[in-house]
Structure 1
Amino acid sequence: MYKETQKFRQPWLWALLVYSMGVVIYSGQLVGVAIMLLVMALFWFLTLQTRIDQEGISYRWFPFQSSYRLIKWSTTEKAVVRDYAAISEFGGWGIRFSWTGMAHTVAGHHGIEIKRKGKKRILLIGTQHPKEVRTILSKEPLPVI
């Protein structure tokens, strides 16, 4: 079984959040400070957790989802690791929608593209370990193209 946990730890994101907090503190808005603290806590604790096992590929956004969402191998037409352009393909990172499908990403430009049987749209789940995931997908006796 493969497990991966991704967190929002990009320096540019935290610089933006700290700068925004400084602006709110400078303006003296206590409600704004409370909101910014909540937003910063959200980004600190939010994690994208991914599992690959004999059942399929599962993911969840902790702490918002208590259970994993499973894409079973029996409903999967293909699952491949590919490079993607977060901004031009999906408009950024996070839970994103586009004409081609849906993405669950935290950072970077590598993801597991999943094409489900009978569906036109894809599901992309970001990964920080593309080589390891490629190896796992190629070794498992899974219906992967």
Structure 2
Amino acid sequence: MRIYEEKQRFNQWWMLVINFSVIGILLYFMYQWYIAGNAVDKVSSSDYAAQIAVILMLVLVVALLFLLGLKTTIDENGIQYQFRPFHRGKKTISWKEMDKCYTRKYKPILEYGGWGIKPVPKSNDIAYNVKGNMGIQIHLKNGKKILIGTQDPDNAQIVINRYFNNEGI
């Protein structure tokens, strides 16, 4: 295997429940305003500016949850990752920048406070993860540590071993 590619999304059951709940709330609000003619909280059925603001906010929340994703590529150049929509393009870490690189099991909540883009306070550590508890641990020569979540650590490690010398790990 010469190239490892992985795309991860927040598609856990509980994320889908959140998305569909927000969509349900939006549909309820629209029914109350446009069909029943009732106010919802402080937004009356004739306050179109407030209705548009509420609708846009809820649509943006759903869109953000659907757009969130982590793409990882490992090849002869190094490791590229992109956490959409926060990274406009791929971030690349070349093999020359790395002191160590390996896959490992980690504790998302205890070590990083959960999933997402998770900087660790008072350290140079950061995690980019979507789900699960397996990741690609990168120790940079400048002392910074980056963990990139993976759902396929075995194949990721095969490609890492191909391009990076892991002596001493």
TM-score by length of 1: 0.86
Q: Residue by residue, what CA displacement relative to the aligned partner does 1:34-85 show, whole Å, maximum 9, x if unpaired?
A: 3122111111122211110111111112344332111111110001111111
- The residue number in structure 1 matching 2:137 is 113
When the two chains are superposed, the root-mean-square deviation of aligned CA atoms in Å is: 2.0
What CA distance in whole angstroms lies between the structure 2 residues aligned with 1:107 and 1:128?
8
Q: Work out the percentage of aligned pairs sharing the same amino acid.
A: 34
Task: Pick closer, same or farther for the CA change 1:32–1:87 going to 2, 3 Å.
Answer: farther
- Structure-to-structure mapping, 1:59-138, within 5 angstroms: 59-99=81-121, 100=123, 101-119=125-143, 121-138=144-161
What CA distance in whole angstroms lies between the structure 2 residues aligned with 1:59 and 1:71?
9
More strand by share: 1
Q: Is the 8 A contact 1:103 1:125 kept in 2?
A: yes
- The residue number in structure 2 matching 1:42 is 64
| Count of aligned residue pairs for this structure pair | 143
- The structure whose Rg is larger is 2
